[in-house]
Amino acid sequence: MLKRDYKRLSAIFLILFAFAATSIYAQDTTRHTSTDTTRYPISDRVGDPFTYKSNNPFNLSDTAYIKRDIQYDPKTKQYYIVEKIGNSYYRTPTYLTFEEMMRFKARQAESEYFKKRANTLSVLNRKVDRPKLKTYDKLFDRIFGVGPNGLKVDIRPQGNVDITAGYEGQNIKNPTLPESARKNGGFDTEGFEFEPVLEDVQTLNKWAIEKKLDVSKISYGVLPLVIKDYVVLNSGGALGKGVGPLLISKKQINDVANVMNQVAVAIPGVNTTAHMLFSYAFPSAKNKQFLVFNEIENAVLSGKVDAGVIIHENRFTYQDKGLVKLMDLGEYWEESTGAPIPLGGIIVKKEMEPNIQRKLDELIKKSVEYSFRNYPAISTYVSSHSQEMSEDVMRKHIDLYVNNFSIDLGEEGRQAVHKFLEVYERIHHTNIAYDGIFAH
């Protein structure tokens, strides 16, 4: 009897097991609508981690065991995103097109820029705790004296006693910053009030031609066109050796001199020093496209142009994007002329009184010297307006472009500017009046 019951139970168990297995198989292979009845359903992400982000606060973020790797395939021009735990795929690999990745990088850089700028301004606007001024009896005893038996002497002094209580703080008259943020500077403008205007160099060059600003930073490439209305200050300029623009591309080109006459090249502005140096090295090149300097790398990467001339921070970042250097235009200038490269200078309208021109020159010189004394500290004004937010890149930029010529051009710097104007005359078949170029 027991044996028969055991066989009956075994048969029932096998039937139930087969039914469960059939149900499981049907669940795994049949697509159906989720029956999750929770108020906030939780589901795993589908798609790439940059585009498909969950807004459900109850979803847990990925564990540190999940390793994400982004690989670029030059054949398909796609970025493949692989997520693994150990050697096993955690999710199905996804991909982004080149354009999608560039848009994501641009949004990410913009977000980081404004986040850092907001953090900088919050620090600048933070209320500073100032020490409370306390007075003690002994202070007045020392001033007015103490009578017999410790009694204070009743003295009625004629005049007054000034007591100065100081605290550690700074003040900067900078109208681009909030009132409380102006207290974090440290340079005395000696009664002058400046209204900073931040624009790319080609815009400033254009405005100089239009005589829009009283004082402006320009490329030396536009100096011949504004020399009749402006003079160059001796301080605040950018000259030097090993600081010139670079000609870059996606791949190495052997016969650069001939190829540049046939391909499209991006130039950072018409009246820029970079354009003049490129024309000096490649006088026959005609297919030029003039872009804002921070758009050139992407133009080369996307194939919009075959090569590009880069300046500023891009000198330090182009290799990270897979671009290669074809030629150092500054090095070519130095070898050909033996002079430092005049990149940019500060000009002031000739119609300004000479004593004001001299005072502005002195203030700019003092400002540069002040920055040198406090270096390698980077001011919040610089970091909040820098295109490239990495402090390492900012310091490389400063180390390369800010030097003794920034404090004072000197005779060597002025001779380099004259040499630059001579080359400009040869390229453009024109004559320039050299008298009165610099402020005195």
Question: How many other C-beta atoms can be found within 10 angstroms of the C-beta atom of residue 304?
Answer: 15
Q: How many Cα atoms occupy the beta-carbon half-sphere of 68 within 13 Å?
A: 12
The pair of structure tokens assigned to 194 is: 């400046």
Q: Pick left, alpha or beta for residue 436 (phi over 0 → left; psi -120 to 50 → alpha; otherwise beta).
A: left
Task: State the first-to-last Cα distance of the chain, in angstroms, to the nearest integer.
Answer: 123
For residue 23, with 0-12 CB atoms within 10 Å meaning exposed, 13-18 middle and 19 or more buried, which class applies?
A: exposed
CB atoms near residue 65 (< 10 Å) = 9
Catalytic, 312? Answer: yes
Neighbours of 116 (CB within 10 A): 14
CB contact at 8 A, 201 and 293: yes
What is Dmax (Cα atoms) for the chain? 127
* CA distance linking residue 307 with residue 320, whole number of Å: 17
Closest CA to 291 of 281, 283, 280, 302: 302
Tokens 């970025």 -> residue: 79
312, 385, 397, 418: the catalytic one is 312
Beta strands in 61-163 (DSSP E): 67-73, 78-85, 88-89, 94-97
* Secondary structure element (H or E) that encloses residue 288, with its range: strand 288-290
Q: How far is CA 69 from CA 72, 83, 89, 108, in A?
A: 10, 7, 11, 18
C-alpha–C-alpha distance, residues 246 and 353, integer Å? 39
Kindly list the catalytic residues: 312
